[in-house]
Homo-oligomer: A and B are copies of this chain.
Amino acid sequence: MRATYMYAPGDVRVIDVPDPVLEDPTDAVVRVVRSCICGSDLHPYHSMSPTVDGSSMGHEFVGVVEDVGADVTTIRKGDFVIAPFAWSDGTCDFCREGLPTSCRHGGFWNSGDVRGGQAEAVRVPLADGTLVPVPVAEDSPLIPSLLTLSDVYGTGYHAAVKGRVGQDTTVTVIGDGAVGLLAVLSAHQLGAPRIILMGRHKDRTDLGREFGATDVVAERGAEGVAAVRELTRGDGTHVVIEAVGHMSAYEQAVGVVRPGGVISRVGVPQYETAPVGFASLFGPNITLTGGPAPARAYIETLLPGVLDGSVDPGKVFDREIGLDAVPDGYRAMDNREALKILVRP
């Protein structure tokens, strides 16, 4: 089959690899109906260490189950399924607590001998715990929105939940990528009365307004901080969702968070150390939270709104390509020509 591998910054290739097969009795093999390219895929696209063997890519996909192992009981051949962006047993204490990304037996796509979703098919470990069957046809118009439950919608929702967004909290969302826009949607769903979206791309921030943003701030850095403070009587907002991952976005978050407030990060940090001392977080009692979204844990909560059409998170996809065009897709997302790209293998 064909699958996507990255070898060095900017070097993405679609190559022939052996078809995935069942290896463990808890596995399923899923034929990919749609996958996509994630903003976080652009981090290695900028800075990965070159590798001869390449790294398989993709951690978001929906598809149809082609085969299941002998111990799989809830997933059947022919099921249409959503695969969240980590695999997990669904039974350990972490899974029961809603943190399947820390599952005692789980892991992430593209690590060990588990390959990624930007491919024609994927071997899915722990299929019962990982996959969520949904009664839709594979040509359903809901597919793009269902695919967002793999990662990007769950990630935006995680940011809002960890930030403790509610009816009494004002929110700033830093970043107008797909995660930022779906964090806006999530904050709106959780009742936030004011949602300030910081982003510079008008087509994206327009979608952000459609998702519930009440204000848009195009400035960045000190000017951006000043603009948010001007909108909030000098205070900043109770919650700041950081959906970028660069230090400049972290600094912006510190600049616009209200004393006693929360910075909730879902952009994968491209730094290891950051200011957290008296002057930044400690003095004003700021909480720093977030991490990789336990997307699997949110699917039951978010699926009904997708199925009944009350939300349409799939609007973040603005281009659809075939698998062989994935390298061009990376370029288009990196150039900001495309917001988020749907891949039809």
Contact = CB atoms under 8 A, between A and B. Distances in A.
Looking at A281, A282, A283, the one whose CB has the most chain B CB atoms below 10 A away is A282
A17 B224 CA distance: 47
A134 interface: no
Contacts of A317: none
B288 A284 contact: no
A6 to B, nearest CB: 18
A112 interface: no
Q: How many copies does the complex hold?
A: 2
A97 B260 contact: yes
Contact of A288 (B269, B276, B292): B276
A189 to B, nearest CB: 21
Contacts of A277: 269, 271-274
Contacts of A239: none
| Chain A, interface residues (CB within 8 Å), range | 20 to 34
Interface of A: 94, 97, 99, 101-102, 162, 259-260, 265, 268-269, 271-292, 294
Contacts of A271: 277
Contacts of A101: 285
Contacts of A292: 282-283, 285
